[in-house]
A = this chain, B = another copy of it.
């Protein structure tokens, strides 16, 4: 039976969107699959996962060239838009290459929401992907058009968050 690659979306304001994608990567590697993760918005504090390729055979991770985009600005910095374009091209290359069974587009939903990546380009990438390739798109505020074409969509909802109680981010958990 030919494999049907799934289009999976992790969205919502809660924790666990990227983390669950990393868990999928781990499970896929356990099945002998090759996995690429492309990070559209790099959290410069997320070190733990950057070590993952050292452990996981067949897992590659490509963080963006520089740190977190300036999320405070009302419109994105042109340099961030250019970088997001490069990142999207790299992601497209990986998806179409046939070298990966699973490609994770980390924070791409957020990159679209913030105006760094046109949603049409994301839809085109989903449309053009080889049938057997699984795609995971993470990030809050996934566009309805993306949800519409996805196979599996999970929303992470924050019920309780420790930062609200004054607890600091914990190494190995948050980063």
Residues of chain A whose beta carbon lies under 8 Å from any beta carbon of chain B: 3-6, 8-12, 14-16, 18-31, 33, 46-52, 55-57, 101-102, 134, 147, 150-162, 165, 167-168, 170-173, 175
In the complex, what's the smallest C-beta–C-beta distance from A31 to chain B, in angstroms? 4
Q: Which 9 A-B pairs have the closest CB atoms?
A: A27-B48, A22-B23, A30-B51, A19-B23, A30-B48, A153-B159, A23-B23, A16-B20, A31-B172
Q: Which residue of B lies closest to A7 (CB)?
A: B162
Please, which residue of chain B has its CB at the minimum distance from the CB of A18? Answer: B23
Counted per complex, copies of this chain come to: 2
Listed by A's residue number, 8 A-B pairs whose Cβ atoms lie within 8 Å are A11-B159, A20-B23, A26-B49, A29-B48, A30-B52, A151-B165, A154-B157, A157-B157
